Amino acid sequence: MFEFALSLVKAAGYIVIGVALCYLGKTIRARIPQWKNTDAGIISGGGDALALSSGAYYLAVLLSLGGPISWASDSLALGLAEAFVFGLLAVLLLNLSVLIAEKTYLARWKLAAGIKAGDAGAGLAEGAHYIALGLMIMGASWGDSGGPGIMLCFWLLGQIFLWLALTAYLKIFSLNMPASLDGNFPAALSMAGGMIAFGNVVRAAISGPFLGWARSGLESAGYFVFGFAALLGARWLADAWLFPKATFNGEIFKKTPPNRAAGILDALLFIGVSILLGWVLA
């Protein structure tokens, strides 16, 4: 009975920590020029685009807390303290990841401008990227963390993996995503599913106990390559077996008007296969 009560108290403590980290994340985010005085679009009337982006940001903060919780001490006070300290580090890394992405592989997407213009597709794409980063940071701190230094190294490795996945995906399918997102909500749905799926595969690839730099690094790279290839392979099989009279890319990126149903199916298939891969790679 005592252990059950302790578990409930600990769960309540983690919820408080999660909300506190969301508040801290909001404070940090408010210092970035394009997000000042937005309040997730609720008070400012920012609309769906801003709500999708801001809501996904808070979801990413909560997801990133999952890593520290996985190995926090059984002691109530120490466990909550560890979760808060490493959760705060996770929030800082999330915002740093966003800044890196916006200056590198997402620079041409101009998502912030699209959100300001009220484009729900831009909000969905940016929100999905936040979720992918949250999953990646969860993986970087999951299991026997070995300290903040190892968490930082695997965060950087995960950032590189996510960049490689997005870049390779767009290159393989010859997609001009900045142009495709302009008023094409099915394209945003498809890309959002892909981003979340890539983030989940990266999470699975870099999570787990630290087994040494060489072994952990090589295993992470191997899992990532396999997971990325399996995602694309599953998408190809879906085109060939499930929908033989059409292709996802044709229906989403080439058809006028774009097929919203294809965008929904593509996103859910991506995410579903990534969950299956996460079970296999864990």
Is the pLDDT at 145 greater than 70? The verdict is: no
Cα–Cα distance, 272 to 63 (Å, whole number): 18
Cα–Cα distance, 135 to 60 (Å, whole number): 7
pLDDT attached to residue 166: 95
| Residue pLDDT, tens place only, 221-278 | 999 999 999 999 999 999 888 888 888 989 999 888 999 999 999 999 999 999 999 9
Cα–Cα distance, 203 to 234 (Å, whole number): 19
pLDDT attached to residue 6: 80
Give the 3-state secondary structure of residue 213. Answer: helix
pLDDT attached to residue 79: 85
Reported for 226-233, long-range contacts at CB under 8 A and 24+ positions apart, including other chains, are 226/281, 227/201, 227/274, 227/277, 227/281, 228/164, 228/165, 228/168, 228/198, 228/201, 230/273, 230/277, 231/197, 231/198, 231/201, 231/270, 231/273, 231/274, 231/277, 232/169, 232/172
With bands split at pLDDT 50, 70 and 90, how would you rate the model's confidence at 44? low
With bands split at pLDDT 50, 70 and 90, how would you rate the model's confidence at 74? confident
Comparing 39-48, 181-190, 247-256, which segment has the lowest mean pLDDT? 39-48
pLDDT attached to residue 43: 52
Cα–Cα distance, 231 to 214 (Å, whole number): 26
| Residue pLDDT, tens place only, 124-137 | 999 999 999 999 99
pLDDT attached to residue 245: 83
DSSP code, position 40:
G
Measured in whole angstroms, how far is the alpha carbon of residue 60 from the centre of its chain?
Answer: 7
Asked if 199 and 131 count as a contact pair (C-beta separation under 8 A), the reply is: yes
pLDDT attached to residue 126: 94
Tell me the C-alpha to C-alpha distance, in Å, between residue 246 and each of 1, 66, 168, 236, 251. Answer: 58, 39, 23, 11, 7
**Token duo for residue 48:** 């769906």
Cα–Cα distance, 188 to 252 (Å, whole number): 9
Is the pLDDT at 40 greater than 60? The verdict is: no
Q: What average pLDDT does range 181-205 have in this prediction? A: 94
pLDDT attached to residue 42: 55
pTM, to two decimals? 0.92
